[in-house]
Amino acid sequence: MANYVTITSDKKKGVVLFLWFLGIFGMFPFYYWYVGRRAGIFRWLTLNYFLLGGIRDLFRIVFGSFRDNVGAPLRQ
């Protein structure tokens, strides 16, 4: 019998969505700092690629492909 281990992040998807909305719909990427990704500073300076990156990140958060700094998927 095989033993499977699923690795998930200790960061929650609901908190990331709240921080996305708090950052004026992803324009200020507070959610990047919450999950520990360093690209947040560059995204802040460019207003998250002029909001296009924020919209793309919203879809990634909702559909589950957004990852934390070690590459683990967010927890429900």
Q: Which long-range contacts (CB under 8 A, 24 or more apart) does 56-61 make?
A: 57/20, 57/26, 57/29, 57/31, 58/20, 58/25, 58/26, 61/13, 61/16, 61/17, 61/20, 61/31
Q: Where are the domains of the chain?
A: 13-63
Task: Say whether pTM exceeds 0.75.
Answer: yes
pLDDT exceeds cutoff 70 at 1: no
pLDDT exceeds cutoff 80 at 58: yes
pLDDT exceeds cutoff 80 at 73: yes
What six digits make up the tokens of 6? 């699923």
DSSP H/E element including 18: helix 13-22
Q: Which amino acid is at 56?
A: R
